[in-house]
Amino acid sequence: MILNPSNNFGEDSFEVFLVNIINTLDTSHFWPNEDRGGETPYDPRAMLGIILYGFCRGTFSSRKLERACLTDIGFIYVSGHNTPDHAAICRFLKCWRIQLKEIFAQIVYLAYEKGFIDYKCLSIDGTKIKANASKAFTGTLADFRKRLSSIELSIEESMSRLESNETNIEKTQQKIDKKIKDKKRITDFLCESDKILNRQGKEKKQNITDPDCRLMLFSNGTVHEAYNAQACVDGANGLIVAPEVSQEENDRRLLTPVLSKVISPEKAKDDKWQILADSGYWDPNELANAEGKHYELFIPSQTHASPLSSKGNTKKWEMKNFEKDETGVYGIVLVDNDSEQEIKFELILMEIKVDLTMFFISGKI
């Protein structure tokens, strides 16, 4: 059955919107002009349609994307009836990473031209994303040397049991093979790796499975191998204008690095940008680096944020507690428990969530 898009999706549907956006993008830089040989590659617009549509719907697995191109009418439409397998989708994502970043920039510029982004108010926040790494292979170089000695001793003991027929031969041999693989992984890592020191001069723990990840503290108090993912969002329609992934364990030194990644035309820098961030970004050096640029920072210090934190007492941040003053601005006055000073918080964005209150407001004494 041949699908007619006009019969399945209205002009206001997201599917039609996405295809129209993709058709306006310059995709000529995806494939070189010369003949590469082999099979004819898929149209990059079809691949972009599959990937962007899948990501917007929360489908990231290449195998699930492959199946959706055969069974899901939305994917069939945005792919232009193309049915790439999961290997082709993976190759596209791997081989054209730089070009995909350029596509992101094109979309941001297009959104600005259409008035969906105005750069008047930008919000920054981050989240920790667990790495696909085993805790068993995390440690300092000294930890790995110690574990290597333990594995070598364990292999010798298992070999002795095999020779004396004191154990199940098949299971013991499987354990020995695994330990030999672990030994090789650790040995190779020790030969190729150097110490990584933190700012206090102490050695950081590393992971063999994913050497780029770092041990990070999560909000629930647990520690995991992870990355610190950052996003800068434009306040007009909530569109991301700067993504960033960092190895920093917290956000203190990420204010200016994230702002430097904001994609914007030069004319958008003529006016001051209001920058909203929570107290985790408060750092004197970062604030100094941002000084003199086209930023107006709204970042509560740790002194302001700690006694007024919403943790454990969320009711004080409910909308009913914000009162409108003579200028039409909604605000709330609270008392700092340490200094006993009154602090007025003015509402910058009307739609707030309790757990993100310190992200949306600025404190003024």
Same domain, 38 and 51: yes
Same domain, 335 and 265: no
Average pLDDT, the chain: 82
What is the C-alpha to C-alpha distance for residues 219 and 303, in angstroms, rounded to an integer?
Answer: 20
What is the C-alpha to C-alpha distance for residues 46 and 76, in angstroms, rounded to an integer?
Answer: 10
Same domain, 9 and 79: yes
pTM value is 0.73
Establish how many alpha carbons lie within 13 A of residue 32's alpha carbon, considering only the half-sphere containing its beta carbon: 5
Same domain, 318 and 220: no
Same domain, 249 and 125: yes
For 194, the domain range is 135-207
Cβ pair 283, 308 in contact under 8 A: no
How many structural domains does the chain have? Answer: 4
Residues 324-344: tens digit of each pLDDT: 777 766 666 665 555 566 666
Same domain, 188 and 270: no
Residues 199-256: tens digit of each pLDDT: 788 888 899 989 899 999 998 899 999 999 999 999 988 899 999 999 999 999 999 9
Cβ pair 295, 259 in contact under 8 A: yes
Same domain, 329 and 252: no
Same domain, 165 and 76: no
The domain boundary residue, chosen from 299, 333, 349: 299
Give, as one character, the DSSP assignment of residue 282.
-
Report angle CA 355, 231, 350 to the nearest 5 degrees. 45
282 burial (CB, 10 Å; 0-12 / 13-18 / 19+) is buried
Beta bridge partners of 240: 233
Short-list 218, 219, 223, CA closest to 138 = 223
For residue 259, how many other CB atoms are within 10 A of its CB? 23
